[in-house]
Amino acid sequence: MAIELPTQPKVGMVSLGCPKALVDSERILTRLRADGYAMSPDYAGADVVLVNTCGFLDSAKEESLAAIGEAIAENGRVIVTGCMGNEAEAIRARFPGVLAVTGAHQYEDVVGAVHEAAPPSQGPFVDLIPQRDVDVKLTPRHYSYLKISEGCNHACAFCIIPQLRGKLASRRIDAVLREAEKLVASGTKELLVISQDTSAYGVDIRHQAYPWKGQEVRSHMTDLARELGQLRTPEGRAPWVRLHYVYPYPHVDAVIPLMAEGLLTPYLDIPFQHASPNVLRAMKRPANEAKVLDRLRSWREICPDIAIRSSFVVGFPGETEADFQYLLDWLDEAQLDRVGAFRFEPVEGASANDLPGAVPDEVKEERYARIMEKTEAISAAKLGAKVGRVLPVIIDEVGEPDEDGDRGATGRSQADAPEIDGSVFLRDVSAALKPGDIVDVLVEDADAHDLFGVIAES
């Protein structure tokens, strides 16, 4: 007599916001799969839908609320988690039918809510089946986010991250390195190190040291960077290791030689936010823009190929035309490789909302257009200088052949992080090329954001 195993309940997931939230989604789904749940790619097949929300800006909150509304309309059984979870009353007032609301990185709570809404169907036979020791990934197989800490100790006037995610809470360095090693062994070719403040990693645990590979390593950014640089893929290659959310503290200088040696990807994502000392003080951020320019120059002397990306806020309360012009002049000096800009947007609970000197929306728009024009020109010149060079490129996607049989591909150089920077478009690639391959590319052309080329002849 055949034994009929119980049907696995299915969970759908909508993940919004930053890469840190994406990692939270991966952890939640990994835990649920270990508990016997299957994943549903659509609303119709899900017994319950999780919406991992973003609550950083009012516009992000509206996107989160729209996603919750869509999930309720399409499925009806919805659990809300993530950064907007601290506004449970507002969510329930708008959507009284939600099953549960939990906050950011409250893994036990959200898993418990799923268990209650759609109980796991494991019985005495299913419990004997070992779960695969493979984590759920929401990114392509060849790159992975590596979250090293939660929360933040800064008190920036425009930000409510500490209220949403708490103070800095660093992971043990041996746990981080074990996860990185496991990811690389399973096919990750690019590790993207993320946190709210990567440079402050380990401050909260006094940089406690732990045994790793026969030595003691501190829970410190420089030790972490050095050890990540020792990782190798099954093919024996060093994976790309990309550092995000790096505040320019003095000890960051120590990782630049690792980039020059090829142990780290020559790329730093630094949240400058502005350059004017007046605006930086109002933002409650360090006002040391002149020293930063000196350090950028010294970093480029050590590692000429280093790419610096950053983001800036325009229209912050009290920002004058002189402050904004100071920022434009600073960008001329800094020559950053990749820049994003945002119009200041009040965030409920942020102290900046009470500052005098609100900048009119039309002025914000005009300044936004000017900073984008400035940074686009800098980017175009920097990318144009790469024409004729041969650069390593990681492949993200390989296209189908066109009517002439020619096949193209899309990848990224070491100066390009996924989703936020530019791309490298390749022509005439082999059908054997696949995502995750790292190839040398001869750059043939460039525009303001992207490169175009062909795989270099060996």
Per DSSP, 263 falls in state S
Paired tokens of 95: 């959507």
In angstroms, the CA 394 to CA 375 distance is 25
Q: Is 303 annotated as a binding residue?
A: no
Provide the CB-side half-sphere exposure for 228 (13 A, CA).
Answer: 31
Residue 196: C-alpha distances to residues 19, 21, 207 (Å): 11, 11, 17
- Ramachandran bin of 215, using left for φ above 0, alpha for ψ from -120 to 50, beta for the remaining angles: beta
Beta bridge partner(s), residue 193 = 146, 243
Q: Which amino acid, 290?
A: A
Backbone angles phi, psi at 423, to 5 degrees: -130, 165
- Report whether 224 contacts 176 (CB < 8 A): yes
Task: Measure the CA–CA gap between 135 and 31, rounded to whole angstroms.
Answer: 9
Owner of token pair 């012009």:
325
Alpha-carbon distances of 103 from 87, 91, 209, 414, rounded to whole Å = 9, 12, 31, 35
Phi/psi at 122 (nearest 5 deg)? -65, 130
Q: Phi and psi at residue 131, in whole multiples of 5°?
A: -80, 145
Residue 18 annotated as binding site: yes
Instruction: Answer positive or negative: Cα dihedral of 222, 223, 228, 229.
Output: positive
Which residues are known binding-site members? 18, 54, 83, 152, 156, 159
Which residues are known binding-site members for [4Fe-4S] cluster? 18, 54, 83, 152, 156, 159
